[in-house]
Amino acid sequence: MRRIVAGLACATLASGTGSRGASAQDRTVRADGPPVWGEMPALVEEVRIGLLEGPPEYLFGQVSGLAALADGSIWVGDDHLHAIRRYAADGAYQGQVGREGEGPGEFDTPTTIRVLSDGSVAVFDPRLRRISHFEADGTFLDSFAPPTNGIYGGVVGDLGVDGEGRFTVAAMKPPAPGQPRTAMSVVWLLLDRAGAVLDTLRLEPTEPVGSSDPIRTLTRRSPLGYLVTGRTDRYALTLELGPGEARTIERAWEPVRYASEERAERERLEEVIEGRSGRPGRDIPRTKLPWKDLWIDGAGRLWVRMYAEGYRHEETPGEEASRREACAFFGASDEECDRGVDAWREPVVFEVIEPDGRYLGRVRLPAADAVPKQAEGAHLWVVEEGDFGEQSVVRYRIDAGGPR
């Protein structure tokens, strides 16, 4: 979906962000070696599921979650359907899991889907605030609600699983009386299979600097059991491996310049957001930050979303409809909504790094709005959106060493 800056800025919450600092036993490694996958490996499309028109089982309303199982089958959560669809490894429809409702095995928003080590599947529904557990064939097993009392605040999701079959979820710790709403912090909860809290970790909030291409401190939890933290104005990621042990991975980067019109638009958007949110903007430099986001796959590989050269993009009918719907939801006027349009895009480019610091390579996704959902070995599953808002689930094979 197209980024709508003015309408959403006032509602931004720093979920999953924070900084605990590096350990005293911090060890730095460089990720500047030659790419294991070669220069810009090709992505070879193997399966595409999703149509603009056709059988209803292949039409997606809003893809919210995705998981690929060991046999290659794919579970796709759809917020509009309020259910999950199952597809074979070749994309053939296999059936539906759950339906709309609040009963056992039913959903409102099946947002996050995770595969456990025994092959079963867990689904987090943020509106029902419930984790549901299924067999690989879709048979419902059980469900529970993570704690949402005054200590932890509301559970916001980011469901994870570890090798011992335990769950992790992120909850929001409400600010103390008299503190601003932005002082809300993140609490990671480690849960057993019955939903009991085994451990907690609180991350203090950090304020981003600016709103359009902001400087942010991001913290992500690796499925290998530790936190990864970095600040987007420095290409360095710290893996907090355990008490007294940390590894910082650093990598050289080539600054990317803003096009003159692109930079002018960023400066305008800073003014728009500052006027709506009251949060101070930042001066936009002539070069972009090193990186903008971080995603960690099931093997613990770091997928660092890089800034890249921008290009102007004409809004499609589907994007305009989504933009106006979002603006209406957040109470933005039509004039303000139009002022907040971001007409510049960048290709989706990731640099992939092993947790030991080995540099695998730079991967460019074919679609500018592609969202990666899972990566295992040489395969990558993403969600893409067409010109009319139609969505597709695509499985790519990373062709190491192939031309781009």
Buried b (16+ CB within 10 A) or exposed e, 280-291: ebbebeeebbbb
Mean pLDDT of the chain: 85
Stretch 41-65: mean pLDDT, rounded?
93
> What gap in Å lies between CA 137 and CA 90, rounded to an integer?
16
Does the domain formed by 5-399 have CATH 3.40.50.740? Answer: no
The answer, yes or no, to whether residue 171 has pLDDT greater than 90, is no
> What gap in Å lies between CA 301 and CA 374, rounded to an integer?
11
CA 190 vs. chain centroid, Å, equals 20
Q: Are 391 and 381 in contact (CB under 8 A)?
A: no
The answer, yes or no, to whether residue 167 has pLDDT greater than 50, is yes
> What gap in Å lies between CA 238 and CA 221, rounded to an integer?
11
> What gap in Å lies between CA 134 and CA 106, rounded to an integer?
11
pLDDT in tens, 32-52: 999 999 988 999 999 999 999
Continuous segment of H or E residues that includes residue 320? helix 317-329
Q: Which residue carries 């199982």 as its tokens?
A: 69
Q: Are 335 and 324 in contact (CB under 8 A)?
A: no
Task: Provide the whole-model pTM.
Answer: 0.86
Of 391 and 334, the structure prediction assigns the larger pLDDT to 391
The answer, yes or no, to whether residue 20 has pLDDT greater than 50, is no
Neighbours of 352 (CB within 10 A): 24
Residue 167 Cα distances to 62, 201, 265, angstroms: 25, 14, 42
Q: Where are the alpha helices (DSSP H) in 345-403?
A: none
> What gap in Å lies between CA 5 and CA 313, rounded to an integer?
15
Neighbours of 326 (CB within 10 A): 20
Q: What is the pLDDT of residue 273?
A: 79
Domain ranges in the chain?
Answer: 5-399
Band of residue 13 on the pLDDT scale cut at 50, 70, 90: very low
Tokens of 260: 């003159």
Q: What is the pLDDT of residue 180?
A: 60
Instruction: Quote the DSSP letter at residue 258.
Output: P
User: Considering only 144-158, 245-259, 278-292, 338-352, which range has the smallest mean pLDDT?
Assistant: 144-158
Q: What is the pLDDT of residue 187?
A: 82
Stretch 239-255: mean pLDDT, rounded?
94
| 197-203 vs 185-191, strand pairing mode | antiparallel
Phi then psi for residue 159, to 5 deg, are -65, 135
The answer, yes or no, to whether residue 66 has pLDDT greater than 80, is yes
